[in-house]
């Protein structure tokens, strides 16, 4: 059954930033479609419903063309037109270059770049006839610069940024707002704390990005008037070096 609410599609609705973005749009009355490849979505469902909004929570692999196509078709046919889509799939791993296997490199590229292409393409097909909509991509420090041990992640995120740039130039003049958010800092979550414990501990108070604060940026980008669209926004804590 079609929803009367506007639809916000969050691809990669993890427990931290993805969920925060979903909650931010839910507070504005959007019906949330939240997907992730695996993991529990019950907590996010409860949080969105507690805000007085509604949610469709699904497991879907954004690297799989058929699953992405079927997801977008299902949302558009059963729920309504997608007004905003957020691609928030991660893929961060750390291996020295000689320890980076072909399997690892390919998987990270699929998560960061191929999945972004599939989601962006399929959502654009639906938005273009309406000549309106917003597609937001989550980038990282690795979108701009490679670092020791992060060759696979940097390659994937560089590719995602290039995709977003190309889409913005092609689709912007047709009414589709494409934006790329560079998250240049650590986001508050247990996984990051375990992955980079020394770096995490060194940041101190207000040196870690809070998911709800970052989610506000995504809402602001969606709200921008056509005469002043932002393509790229860098986000970093006040103490993060440039």
Give per-residue pLDDT as tens, 4-53.
789 999 999 988 999 999 999 999 999 999 999 998 999 999 999 999 99
**Average pLDDT of 90-97?**
90
> How many CB atoms neighbour CB 215 within 10 A?
22
> How many CB atoms neighbour CB 27 within 10 A?
14
- From the list 75, 71, 14, 74, the residue with the least C-alpha distance to 41 is 14
Domains of the chain and CATH, by start: 7-183+210-235 (3.40.50.720)
- From the list 31, 48, 37, the residue with the least C-alpha distance to 14 is 37
User: What's the pTM value of the predicted model, to 2 decimals?
Assistant: 0.93
186 in Cβ contact with 203 (< 8 Å) = yes
Question: Which pLDDT band, with edges at 50, 70 and 90, does 205 fall under?
Answer: low
In the numeric block, which tokens belong to residue 101?
């296997």
Place of tokens 């296997």: 101
Question: Which pLDDT band, with edges at 50, 70 and 90, does 166 fall under?
Answer: very high
Q: Is the pLDDT of residue 195 over 80?
A: no
């Amino acid at each position: 059954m079609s929803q009367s609410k506007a639809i916000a599609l969050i691809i990669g609705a993890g427990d931290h930033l993805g969920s925060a973005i979903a909650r931010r749009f839910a507070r504005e009355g959007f019906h949330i479609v939240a997907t992730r490849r695996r993991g529990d979505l019950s907590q996010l469902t409860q949080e969105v419903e507690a805000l007085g909004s509604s949610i469709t929570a699904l497991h879907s692999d954004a690297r799989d063309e058929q699953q992405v196509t079927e997801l977008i078709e299902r949302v558009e046919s059963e729920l309504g037109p997608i007004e905003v889509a957020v691609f928030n799939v991660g893929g961060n791993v750390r291996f020295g270059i000689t320890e980076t296997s072909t399997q690892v490199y390919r998987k990270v590229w699929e998560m960061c770049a191929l999945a972004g292409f599939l989601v962006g393409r399929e959502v654009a097909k639906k938005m273009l006839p309406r000549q309106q909509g917003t597609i937001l991509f989550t980038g990282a420090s690795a979108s701009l610069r490679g670092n020791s041990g992060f060759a696979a992640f940097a390659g994937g995120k560089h590719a995602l940024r290039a995709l977003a740039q190309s889409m913005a130039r092609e689709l912007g003049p047709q009414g589709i707002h494409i934006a790329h958010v560079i998250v240049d800092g650590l986001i508050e979550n247990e996984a990051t704390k375990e992955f980079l414990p020394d770096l995490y501990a060194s940041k101190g108070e207000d040196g870690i990005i809070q998911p709800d604060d970052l989610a506000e940026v995504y809402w602001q980008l969606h709200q921008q008037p056509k005469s002043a669209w932002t393509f790229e926004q860098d986000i970093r804590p006040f103490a993060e070096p440039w």
